[in-house]
Structure 1
Amino acid sequence: MLAMHVGAVAALLPRFWSWQALVVLGALYWTTVLGVTLGLHRLAAHRSFQAPAWVERGLVLMGALACQSGPIEWVGLHRHHHKYSDQPNDHHDAARGLWWAHSDWMLHEIPALRHVERLTGDLQRDPFYRWLDRWFLLVQLPLAAALYGYGEWAGVHGGGLGLVLWGIPLRLVLVYHVTWLVNSATHALGYRNFDSPDLSRNCWWVAILSFGEGWHNNHHAFPHSARHGLRWFEIDITWLHIRLLQVLGLARRVRVARYRP
């Protein structure tokens, strides 16, 4: 984690700046955040819709680019969080403070890890999930090789190293903190549409950064809904991608909650 933050700072040095690096960052941010929100969260963790195996595996592979543990562990911890949200046995219980909920919880023993296997029986049966859960870090290697090779071949300012720094550590740090804001900021800032038994809130700016995950009170009220932004002004970019998959015939049995004031 420390190395990624150091690499992210290094990426911002003038010698590594280029328009190509900015495009790489934008494209990979979109890919990675969607992998987390659409693949790991709404599809794998909550089964809010169904998709062909190749679509699901592609989305989960995109989520593995986030380096937030393997998909089985990610899903298991998230399901555990929903069972005990903001209770003492919630591993990122926001009642313990924003810093704890944001990232400090990861620097301590996580008792919830003992329950991952019990909570992920559906994923444990899939060899692809088991393989990716063990080797998710390796996904960064071909990406780094491709970025470095293109940067050197195209003569990009900052070279291949510049593209690697923008495409991996800088991207990862941005995605880390955006994901962690869903655990911290949206349990403290914003408004509530529903009286859910936790501290979850709807926070518009987190929703923008996280492609719709910031409508967190809506999500905790209806965890299995594929749509998190339930009111007309609650823009949910991940939901728009699910609708696109529906139009293409790649998403079915989509579960959607409705807002009724």
Structure 2
Amino acid sequence: MPADHHDIVYPSAVPFILLHLAAFAAIWTGVSAASLTLCAGLYVLRMFAVTGGYHRYFSHRAFATSRGFQFVLACLAQSTAQKSVLWWASKHRHHHRHSDTPEDVHSPRHTGFVYSHLGWLFARKHDEADLTSVADLTRYPELRWLHAHENAPAVALAALCLVVGGWQGLVVGFVWSTILLWHATFCINSLAHVAGTRRYVTGDDSRNNWLLAIATMGEGWHNNHHAFQSSARQGFRWWQVDPTYYILKGLALAGIVRALKQPPQAVVRGEQRLGAKVVHRTAEQLAARFSAERIVQALRTACSERELSALRHALSEAATGVLHPHLPSRAALMAEARTLYARTPSLEDIVERAHQMVLAAVRHRLSTASG
């Protein structure tokens, strides 16, 4: 277990574990067609509340709606027992600011698959929401009330299921659908950064996964989402099924939501130049594939101390203009980049920056060794 996982608060996981155990109560309650229908209906309704509400509306403001429907979305989303709308949005916005960096709250690259899937939920440092990052939401007293009573919607729905469907309604309808919702949602944090395809250069490990897109009503087009976060539509191509977007379109026709944001065609075609942060992160990934330690070892084996001294001086004078058979050329980095990344007008910028990083790392190691 990585060192930064020592703060997991296991007692806070008890309700999570108990609900999973409660699913086995269906052995005694039985399973009927009515209870399975309730389970499926609650899954679809609340998955939309998570994808359309928690994610696309509250986290990314991908569309506009009335204050009344905003509250409905928040209540339905919180009925999934995934903490409050303010907590969820604040953590998700933090994730996008630091996606797949060491500061990310749930990156499989840095914290492992299991921790990114669910372990981070029980860590002390993630207990509280950063309300400064959701100031646009905290101005609504009803959302602050839901934040203070985050379990109220889930408890109310569980009670309603018990009244309407008896014990089968509670166990199969509520408990089963809630557990399925949890793990489908968590898979976007974990599996969608590990398995799938990457059409767009985003500076992180986000991937498109058609199976997750089906399970999460469109959220599986995760690389698309990271390419243009504020889009109400995450299935950019006609064949990329996105039921959440279809529902939003229907709600827009009914006048319930409006101003659905769309990805520019330049983004869809991969023709838009990338921002400085994405270029820098992608360059770091590319540079990491060229080990400065191995390069320096090869240089020390092949070169005399005099040659190494001259090379150190040359590297300090011109970061990318030095040619040496043991130093990776810019062309070598470009060849590697073309195998790793989708086509983008910013590929030259990425390679140039990565080349500077590699040579700077070699220069630093040579200087340290000489000292």
TM-score (norm 1): 0.92
Query: Structure 1 residue aligned with 2:82, among 62, 68, 76?
Result: 68
Residue aligning to 2:179: 173
In structure 1, what is the Cα distance between the partners aligned to 2:186 and 2:160? 28
**Looking at CA atoms only, which structure, 1 or 2, has the larger radius of gyration?**
2
Give % identity: 33
Residue aligning to 2:160: 146
Greater shift after overlay, 181-190 or 130-139? Answer: 130-139
* Shift in Å, 1:114: 5.9
* Shift in Å, 1:145: 2.8
3-state SS of 1:110 partner: helix
**Aligned positions of 1:46-125 closer than 5 A:** 46-95=60-109, 96-110=111-125, 116-125=130-139
Give the CA RMSD over aligned residues: 1.5
Residue aligning to 1:10: 25
In structure 2, what is the Cα distance between the partners aligned to 1:166 and 1:15? 9
Structure 2, unmatched stretches of 5+, are 1-15, 271-371
* Shift in Å, 1:10: 2.3
Residue aligning to 1:157: none
* Shift in Å, 1:115: 6.3
Larger RCO (CA within 8 A; separation ≥ 6): 1
Corresponding letter in the other structure for 1:194:
Y
Corresponding letter in the other structure for 1:92:
H
Write out per-residue CA displacement over residues 131-176 of structure 1, whole angstroms, 9 at most, x where no aligned residue.
111112122333233222233xxxxxxxx11210112221111001
Residue aligning to 2:192: 186
Contact preservation (8 Å) 2:231, 2:261: yes
Residue aligning to 1:154: none
| Alignment pair present for 1:126 and 2:132 | no
Contact preservation (8 Å) 1:79, 1:119: yes
Contact preservation (8 Å) 2:36, 2:172: yes
Corresponding letter in the other structure for 1:252:
R
Change (3 A) 1:115 1:40: closer
Number of positions where the alignment pairs a residue of Structure 1 with one of Structure 2: 251
| Alignment pair present for 1:244 and 2:260 | no
In structure 2, what is the Cα distance between the partners aligned to 1:115 and 1:142? 23
Write out per-residue CA displacement over residues 73-125 of structure 1, whole angstroms, 9 at most, x where no aligned residue.
111000000000011111101212221211122232335x6661110111111
* Shift in Å, 1:14: 6.3
Contact preservation (8 Å) 1:5, 1:173: yes
| Alignment pair present for 1:37 and 2:51 | yes
In structure 2, what is the Cα distance between the partners aligned to 1:89 and 1:114? 16
